[in-house]
């Protein structure tokens, strides 16, 4: 008569191998990313949005993480839920100016930083998120100034 554990004993090595292969894949874990956005003289931006877009091979969909720039220039990235950070990897970055008020009496102000930082193809900002807590300082130039990252 066969042992009732005969089938289980044969499946254990296969199950162990599948578990090992599953854990060896790309990490979907996200890590905290925060920092500050300043002008070249150290003056913090007082509003806007930071957007990180993952660098991926052609044909793959990039992952984006974003964070609002607070009054002191600080930001914290979120991918799926507030403050969850970003996956490890290389990212290109853009900075968007604050949205103008919808109040008709307010004047639309020009951004305090060069517009090239608002486009992934011209920003020149690239950073790497590591599998740890990340403090990423971003420096941008005023309008009309030369390239600076």
pLDDT per residue as tens digits for the range 22-42 = 333 455 799 999 999 999 999
Domains and CATH numbers, the chain: 33-140 (2.60.40)
The torsion defined by the Cα of 124, 98, 84 and 53, in degrees rounded to 10, comes to: -30
Radius of gyration of the chain (CA): 22
3-state secondary structure at position 77: coil
In this prediction, residue 146 has a pLDDT band, given cuts at 50, 70 and 90, of low
pLDDT per residue as tens digits for the range 59-83 = 899 999 999 999 999 999 999 999 9
Phi and psi at 120, nearest 5°, equal -60, -30
Query: How many other C-beta atoms lie within 10 A of the C-beta of residue 85?
Result: 21
Q: Has residue 14 got a pLDDT over 60? A: no
Least trusted range by pLDDT, from 15-19, 123-127, 129-133: 15-19
Instruction: Specify the pTM.
Output: 0.74
């Amino acid at each position: 008569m066969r042992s009732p554990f005969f089938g289980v004993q044969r499946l254990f090595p296969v199950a162990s191998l599948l578990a090992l292969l599953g854990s060896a894949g790309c990490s979907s874990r996200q890590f905290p990313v925060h920092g500050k956005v300043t002008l070249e003289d150290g003056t913090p931006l007082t509003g806007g949005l930071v957007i990180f877009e993952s660098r991926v091979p052609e044909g793959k969909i990039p992952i984006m993480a974003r964070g609002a720039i607070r009054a002191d220039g600080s930001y914290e990235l979120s991918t799926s839920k507030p403050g969850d950070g970003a996956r490890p990897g290389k990212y290109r970055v853009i900075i968007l100016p604050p949205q103008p008020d919808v109040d008709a009496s307010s004047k639309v102000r020009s951004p305090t930083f060069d517009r090239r930082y608002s486009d992934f193809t011209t920003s020149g900002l690239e950073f790497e998120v590591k599998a740890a807590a990340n403090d990423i300082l971003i420096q941008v130039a005023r309008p009309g100034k030369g390239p600076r990252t």
